[in-house]
Structure 1
Amino acid sequence: MTNNWWNDSTDQLVICSHRSQVEVATVLPATGKFVVARLDGTKMTDADHAFYEFSDALLFPGYFGWNWGASSDCLRDLSWLPADGYLIVMNAPRLLSSSAEDQHTLFRILSEAVHH
């Protein structure tokens, strides 16, 4: 497939649910380095656990500040993990279930990172 979603997109970060039925060819470029991070949303019931999962999966640098602002900065940069694109896959049945405000904040950060 030469003309796929990735080639038509300017986004370097793609996020999809583990239940999404996505053809690999539609999200991965034909060439280049692509980082795929799989996060376990069942472990991310609060902000601290979400920070840990993202940090662990995407190898956030030591200066990561363990807060939403630092998470946003890291997801929009990822320069320590050079690649042509990034794919985050997560199961999210209990994702930030302890705080609707934290859920909203994470989804806003992810949306901004995707369109950065």
Structure 2
Amino acid sequence: MSPHGFDLDLTRPAMNGVYFVSAGDLDRLARAAAREQLQVCRTDLAGCHGKDELLRRLAASLQLPATFGHNWDALADCLRDLGWMPAWGYVLLFDHADQLLQAAEADYNILLGILDDAATFGGEHDMPWFACLALPDGAFDEHPAA
């Protein structure tokens, strides 16, 4: 976000989605979300090498219910229905997303699909729902904005 001067309005469900940001943006996004009384969940993916570790980390950071099934379908269901964490909107922040991408690209891509689906579902229910994944600053230099 910051390399292109784009500020995300976290209160607008029409902007729901999955965003790639620099690591420095995560704290700013967390503060903005807290100001708007949105639920903020932060997950550090440093050293995360695949699905099992990812699901464990998400279970902890999202405080998933004890009934969480530790599989992709259960994660998708939980992210669509965050009833155990009542809020008018949600912002999920992921540190070191590149490490999961490098270690387990297929799992990373599945996670992106699940996050995108949950953001779409939130938008259909007029609820702010954002996922922001931090990539190294150099990642933005590789793919400059058009």
TM-score above 0.5:
yes
Cα gap change, 1:19/1:27 in structure 2, threshold over 3 Å: closer, same or farther? same
Following superposition, the deviation at residue 101 of structure 1 comes to 1.9
**C-alpha separation between the residues in 2 aligned to 1:72 and 1:20?**
28
Offset of residue 112 of structure 1:
0.4
Cα pair distance change 1:61/1:15, threshold 3 Å: farther
Within-5 A mapping of 1:100-111: 100-111=105-116
Structure 2 gaps of 5+ residues are 1-7, 122-146
**Which secondary structure does the structure 2 equivalent of 1:37 belong to?**
strand
2 CA distance for matches of 1:34 and 1:87?
A: 7
Equivalent residue in structure 2 for 1:55, among 46, 56, 59: 59
More helix by share: 2
Shift of 1:34: 1.9
1:21-32 alignment, distance < 5 Å: 21=25, 24=29, 28=33, 31=36
Letter in 2 for 1:102: D
In 2, Cα distance between equivalents of 1:52 and 1:15: 22
Tell me: CA distance 1:94–1:7, structure 2 relative to 1, closer, same or farther (3 Å). Answer: closer
Instruction: Give yes or no for contact 2:42–2:94 (8 Å, CA) kept in 1.
Output: yes
Match of 1:85 in 2: 89
Instruction: Provide the secondary structure at the position in 2 that maps to 1:115.
Output: helix
Identity score, percent: 29
SS of structure 2 residue aligned to 1:21: helix
Q: 1:44 aligns to what?
A: 48
Q: Is the 8 A contact 1:44 1:95 kept in 2?
A: yes
Look up the SS of the partner of 1:83 in the other structure: coil
